[in-house]
Structure 1
């Protein structure tokens, strides 16, 4: 994979170019900053290290002001899976998620994937809209897939949230 990739947001009327490149261990501090700013139950540093170690595709979108987002995905035996797509809350609605998603799709098509899957919290309406706009359709549901944040004063929460399983056919 190229060290520096250029991507355009899908259905963009302007020729906007986003600086997308492979993630490295040196990016983890900024990746964790974006992850922690975005999720109440963020991935740990070790999860990111493990993703890099096993060779999952990991891309970052970096601007002059720092890292604005990232995507981590796997590809094997004709199938791809988005594991994490995250944009700095201050940089959302800038086309960055679309650009990272489009780049991930391009990478896995070249690698021979015929379909791409992902899970998304059923309450994450913004992400669901992004995925639908990008050609993903709901194909199923994983009950009680996600942990939820415990109420104040409690260490754990027994409540969980369903995930929607979404897929995109890449054989067009």
Structure 2
């Protein structure tokens, strides 16, 4: 009799050596992706850059910036072929927990109004829209607004 072990799921801090994988996902899932330099700068500035690996495959990542008692989720992405499988929720939960451990009382993010899957997951986790940044994102025809969303971490079970 043989046992089949499920592939391991792990959350790991990302390093410059992981940039090829990160940038590949970024370029495939966004029409206006972050550049390699954006990620290099994030790591160099000490932002929390974490990845989710399913077995040996990088399936997603996030970039979290701490500012006093507030966290700002700058980027969260899941590889296209892995979307809809719960990896985004795992990444978001991890970012929220990391923010709490760092002393944040809230977490902020921006999202395109056209990104319905992201809006759905953020609302599911209790994020509330608190504002709009006009013309924040580049778009095919000019720019697109960003919805600013906030979650009070005191409302999240530790």
Q: Same fold (TM over 0.5)?
A: yes
**2:144 aligns with one of 150, 161, 165:** 161
**Contact residue 79 and residue 115 of structure 1 kept, 8 A:** yes
Name the residue aligned to 1:49.
Answer: 40
Runs of 4+ deviating beyond 4 Å: none
RMSD: 1.1
What secondary structure is seen at the aligned counterpart in 2 of 1:112? coil
What secondary structure is seen at the aligned counterpart in 2 of 1:29? helix
Name the residue aligned to 1:139.
Answer: 130
- Structure 2 residue 154 is the aligned partner of structure 1 residue 171: yes
Name the residue aligned to 1:58.
Answer: 49
Name the residue aligned to 1:19.
Answer: 10
Q: When the two structures are superposed, what TM-score results if normalisation uses the length of structure 2? A: 0.90
Alignment of 1:31-110 (within 5 A): 31-110=22-101
Distance across 2 between alignment mates of 1:141 and 1:76? 20
Distance across 2 between alignment mates of 1:110 and 1:64? 26
**Contact residue 18 and residue 99 of structure 1 kept, 8 A:** no
Distance across 2 between alignment mates of 1:104 and 1:54? 17
Paired residue total = 148
Structure 1 residue runs of 5 or longer lacking an equivalent are: 1-16, 150-156
